[in-house]
Structure 1
Amino acid sequence: MNQTSREAAANPAQASAQGREQRHVIRNRVSFLEQKIPGYASIIGIVGILILWELVCRLEIVPPLFLPAPSLILAAGWDMLSSGELHENILASLYRIAIGYAIGAGCGIIFGLVLGFSRWVDAILSPVVYSIYPIPKIALLPLIILWLGIGETPKFTMIALGVFFPVVINTFSGVKNVDPIWIKAAVTFGSSHLNVIRKVILPGALPMIFAGLKLAAGTSLLLLVAAEMIAAQKGVGSMILHYGNLMITTKLMVGVLILSLLGLLFNRGLQWLERKLLPWK
């Protein structure tokens, strides 16, 4: 027993005071970590980058052809919006990503739950999933076009494949990380397999499922652009490729910024949905 322990044992009142002081320090540290950041704080970084970008272009440190100023990009975007070109391309891309993402995420969650819940399915199909997952999905596009032809179906398939695997793996990991005591308690009280999955395993796996959905959102945008650049007449990816070939970098950057904005909106939307479905988190 060290000297501090002996003093605490000899003087209980002093030990109690020291304990209260330590708890107070811990609460202050936790309170500091949990401070709410103002909503405008997330905008400061973006505004700062835009101002720096504009200054670099105005001072002609970088030629306008290589990096146009944000003000010029905004003017080009307004012209494209006024002509209806931007509206048409954005709607085409949103349609493709909505269909592909919904199919890939839905199938990924269901398959991941089955994979995590059944040892037989896990033993048989896990090696298949983990062997296909590292393959770059864009490398499969020529084969998918050969199988499905030229149209919207290959684009839906590409996006769905890119979303499917991250969601499957994260859902599977989430199911495996559910506390077995919860499952045993539910089974002991007579819950059916369906109720165990619906009321115990699925809520316990939701944090990991949402992690997979967020990861898949970025992947879906990458595959959308790649598919539209190769086999599409309309869409943000096709628009970027078109203006890149013409070396009209202001309109090219409009497409890049739209993709950045879409990625931000998808992430914020998934965060909002996660807060609604996981209030305890």
Structure 2
Amino acid sequence: MSDEALAERGAAGAAAPVARPVPFRGGGFAPRPMRLVGLVLFLVLLGLWELGSRTGWIGPLVLPAPTAVFEAFRQLVVSGQIWLHLGASLQRLLLGWFGGTLLGLLVGLAAGLFSMARAGVVPLVAALFPIPKIALLPLFIIWFGIGEESKVATILFGTFFPTVIAVYGGVDNVDRNLIRMGQSFGLSWLSIVRKIVLPGALPAILSGFRISAAIAIILLVAAEMIGAEYGIGAYILLAGNLMATDQLIAGVAILSMLGLAVSWLLGRAERYFLRWR
């Protein structure tokens, strides 16, 4: 090789770019924790709300100031009425949601695992799920009376159907190749269900629990507005009848905190049961 060719090769090598490390891209779209963003946004909205109330842009009857709402909430705590209302609501919510979730879980698993149950359950759920459950409350009052049974039945009936749909859909969407692999290794039917089907369907099931919990809170308020002495819904209805908007917003804030608490508990359950992901 001539001296000129060697010189050209050396110049080309010197001009070659330096290799740089490629950044890691295998995060799998994992969300980054940003806990302060939601708190800052909430405080900004509260500040704008308070500013609008103090400057007269927002009328006190239309929407009271956050300080007035906080004072109404404080009075509710000091008087002890909050524990009566909150205790009654939590009792109804837990009984109705747990009952509807347990029944929905059993029926959804049956529909996802057995052809006979699927043929009977899926059309029935499709026909009854679109019915507004609060419209059936008068019928439940006729059946169970004006007491706690009709309110719990409304919540149970309303949470049953979304749970069935979530469980059935989660079981039906489990990868069939994993099931065939378990069958090829000689696993029993029960082992396949316990080790493959249930873990694969668990994300959809827990998402269904979130939806059913939100529906349960909505139905709780609606049921308590009909013939209930204590409960958050009864407190909001009474405040609305008295035009006490500060107390009304305080009751709505209690429902919001209740929803946040339920969401936090379900989030903890998701992190525990889905830690294998």
TM-score, with length taken from structure 1: 0.87
Match of 2:95 in 1: 99
Q: Which runs of structure 1 show a deviation greater than 4 angstroms over 4 or more consecutive aligned residues? A: 30-35
Match of 1:74 in 2: 70
1:115 aligned to which of 111, 119, 123? 111
Aligned equivalents of 2:125, 2:131: Cα separation in 1: 11
Q: Is 1:237 matched up with 2:233?
A: yes
Greater helix proportion: 1
Identity of aligned residues (%): 41
1:24 aligned to which of 2, 22, 25? 22
In the alignment, structure 1 segments of 5+ residues that lack a partner are 1-16
Aligned-pair CA distance for 1:154: 1.0
| Matched length | 262
Structure of greater Rg = 2
176 and 31 in structure 1: CA distance in 2 versus 1, 3 angstrom threshold: closer
Map 1:263-278; keep pairs closer than 5 Å.
263-278=259-274
Aligned-pair CA distance for 1:246: 0.6
Q: Given residue 210 of structure 2, which amino acid in structure 1 is its aligned partner?
A: K
Q: Given residue 211 of structure 2, which amino acid in structure 1 is its aligned partner?
A: L
1:103-131 deviation line (CA, Å, top 9, x unaligned): 11111111111101111211122100111
180 and 41 in structure 1: CA distance in 2 versus 1, 3 angstrom threshold: same
Q: Given residue 50 of structure 1, which amino acid in structure 2 is its aligned partner?
A: L
RMSD, aligned α-carbons: 2.2
- Matched residue SS, 1:231: coil
In the alignment, structure 2 segments of 5+ residues that lack a partner are 1-15
Q: Higher mean Cα deviation, 31-40 or 233-242?
A: 31-40
- Matched residue SS, 1:63: coil
1:41 aligned to which of 30, 37, 40? 37
1:238-279 deviation line (CA, Å, top 9, x unaligned): 000001101111111110001111111111211111010001
Aligned-pair CA distance for 1:64: 0.4
1:226 aligned to which of 218, 222, 229? 222
Q: Is 1:156 matched up with 2:144?
A: no
Match of 1:133 in 2: 129
Match of 1:187 in 2: 183
- Matched residue SS, 2:229: coil
Q: Given residue 24 of structure 1, which amino acid in structure 2 is its aligned partner?
A: V
Aligned-pair CA distance for 1:35: 6.3
Aligned-pair CA distance for 1:33: 5.6
- Matched residue SS, 1:247: coil
TM-score, with length taken from structure 2: 0.89
Q: Is 1:172 matched up with 2:168?
A: yes
- Matched residue SS, 1:170: helix
Aligned equivalents of 2:28, 2:89: Cα separation in 1: 43
Q: Is 1:202 matched up with 2:202?
A: no
Aligned-pair CA distance for 1:32: 11
- Matched residue SS, 2:35: coil
Aligned equivalents of 1:24, 1:121: Cα separation in 2: 52
- Matched residue SS, 1:24: coil
Q: Given residue 232 of structure 2, which amino acid in structure 1 is its aligned partner?
A: V
Q: Given residue 52 of structure 1, which amino acid in structure 2 is its aligned partner?
A: L
Aligned-pair CA distance for 1:173: 0.7
Match of 2:209 in 1: 213
Q: Given residue 98 of structure 1, which amino acid in structure 2 is its aligned partner?
A: L
Aligned equivalents of 1:35, 1:228: Cα separation in 2: 38
Aligned equivalents of 1:80, 1:247: Cα separation in 2: 17
